[in-house]
Structure 1
Amino acid sequence: MAATQLTATTVPGRSVPTFEGLRPSTVKIASFVPLKQGLSQRCFRPLVVKAVTVVAPKYTSIKPLADRVLVKIKELEEETPGGIFIPKTIQPKPQFGEVVAIGEGKSIGKHKVEIGVKPGTQVVYSKYAGTEVLFNGANHLLLKEDEIVGILETDDIKDLKPSNDRVLIKVAEAEDKTSGGVLLAATSKEKPSIGTVIAVGPGPLDQEGNRKPLSFSPGDTVLFFRLGGNDFQGKDGSDYMALRASDVLAVLSS
């Protein structure tokens, strides 16, 4: 039987949000050739999905609306300080960027609340925040201000200044042995959910537009929800986590 071939097809990405001046991304279906008789191994080309919304070159600016912020994503280095090359395909998703444009703010009740970050500010944002757009040849994110975790003016996460109801915690090291003295292998150690508060944000806004202070302070030892927030490694080799105050479950004391 003669072999048939399905050629590559381009399908409009209708599920991608569109705005005036933004061109929706496309999904490219890889070509597929059915196996001929006598072949014992299948061979497929990978499926390529491009989820970035591309802004046409004729548009020279993006003005975020309401409490949204436009952030230029900071690309990760492809080479470690030790000279090891890390391909972008296996690098973690970036969580850092620079604010390039802001909206006019939002209203809470009868009060107008302006956005608390300015263009040029270096920020950390939530892992899955915003809508990614390709603008002026660089990757950007359009996200809500509430999705900004904090301001980072250095290259060390321990210097993070949390935003709103966010808190920065230095995670306690996992125990090497059980209470009965049994040594634990590194692979069997339970992920710690106890740590020391390093910094806290100014607190969430109430219905009057005022900040409500958080119920714990830097230096407190806390129990937190282990699956929440953004995790980082500091220059000192310690693990840090930035999360919402609602993910902190209790304050511990001896």
Structure 2
Amino acid sequence: MAAAQITAATVSSRSVPTFEGLRSSSVKIAAFVPLRQGLNQRVFRPVVVKAATVVAPKYTSVKPLADRVLIKIKEAEEATSGGILLPTTALSKPQSGEVVAVGEGRTVGKNKIEIGVKTGTQVVYSKYAGTELAFNGSNHLLLKEDDIVGILETDDIKDIKPLNERVLIKVAEAEDKTAGGLLLTEASKEKPSVGTVIAVGPGPLDEEGNRKPLLVAAGNTVMYSKYAGNEFKGKDGSDYIVLRASDVMAVLS
């Protein structure tokens, strides 16, 4: 039987329209090539995807509009806390950075609501939010203020100050035993969806632009939706999660 060979073409920015000042980076699609020696052997070439929009050097500033914020992304850690260098594939995508520009805010009801963060502030944002920009030699993110989950006043996630209706929770440790007393391995421990509230935001805005207090407070033990929020590892080794108060389902006592 003759061996098949399938290749995928490279998609380049040359084949798509460009706009003044902005150009899309090239995207290479991996090729899948079965070897002639047998159908069970495969060769996979790496996938290279660069999705950031590149701002031309002639533009020296980016001014966000309305309730948008421009953030300079913090570089990914290249080594573990023990000094072990990480390969590129193991680098975690950063979720924090410095606010470098803000919009003029938005109008809710009759009230003008200004952006709640200022330039120079270190913030943490939702993992898949915003549009990435390559600007002034650094990676930036342009996103809505609501996609910022909190202000990071120190380098430890447990000190984050949640914004709007978000809540910071310290996740309870997984049970080591079943109800019948059987010991569980790390792989078989169920991910908990219970934890202690560490800090809460000022609350959401109502139709008139006034803050509505949250129904949970620091110190509450709560149950939350299993797949909600953004998860973090604290310096103390504990797991933390920041989520919207609407994802908290119950207070336990």
Is the TM value for this pair above 0.5? yes
Match of 2:12 in 1: 11
The one-letter code of the counterpart of 2:23 is R
1:216/1:25 CA distance change after superposition, 3 Å: same
Contact 2:64–2:70 (CA under 8 A) maintained in structure 1: yes
- TM-score when normalising by structure 1: 0.89
The one-letter code of the counterpart of 2:146 is D
The one-letter code of the counterpart of 1:186 is E
How many residues get paired? 249
**Structure 1 residue 8, shift from structure 2 partner:** 5.9
C-alpha distance in 1 between matches for 2:34 and 2:187:
43
Match of 2:210 in 1: 210
Residue deviations 1:67-123 (CA, integer Å, cap 9, x gap): 000001101221123121112322221111000000000111222110010000000
- For structure 1, list consecutive stretches of 5 or more residues without a partner in the other structure: none
**Structure 1 residue 147, shift from structure 2 partner:** 0.2
Q: Residue 158 of structure 2: SS of its match in structure 1?
A: helix
Larger displacement relative to structure 2 (158-167 or 87-96):
87-96
**Residue correspondence of structure 1 range 1-254 to structure 2 within 5 A:** 9-12=10-13, 21-29=21-29, 39-40=37-38, 41-253=41-253
C-alpha distance in 1 between matches for 2:93 and 2:29:
24
- TM-score when normalising by structure 2: 0.89
Contact 1:14–1:24 (CA under 8 A) maintained in structure 2: no
1:246/1:43 CA distance change after superposition, 3 Å: same
- For structure 2, list consecutive stretches of 5 or more residues without a partner in the other structure: none
C-alpha distance in 2 between matches for 1:202 and 1:123:
16
Residue deviations 1:43-82 (CA, integer Å, cap 9, x gap): 4533322211111111110000000000011012211231
C-alpha distance in 2 between matches for 1:55 and 1:77:
25
Contact 1:13–1:25 (CA under 8 A) maintained in structure 2: no
Contact 1:150–1:161 (CA under 8 A) maintained in structure 2: yes
C-alpha distance in 1 between matches for 2:187 and 2:7:
46
Root mean square deviation of aligned Cα: 2.7
Q: Residue 132 of structure 1: SS of its match in structure 2?
A: strand
The one-letter code of the counterpart of 1:75 is E
Contact 2:13–2:23 (CA under 8 A) maintained in structure 1: no
Q: Residue 84 of structure 1: SS of its match in structure 2?
A: coil
Q: Residue 104 of structure 2: SS of its match in structure 1?
A: coil
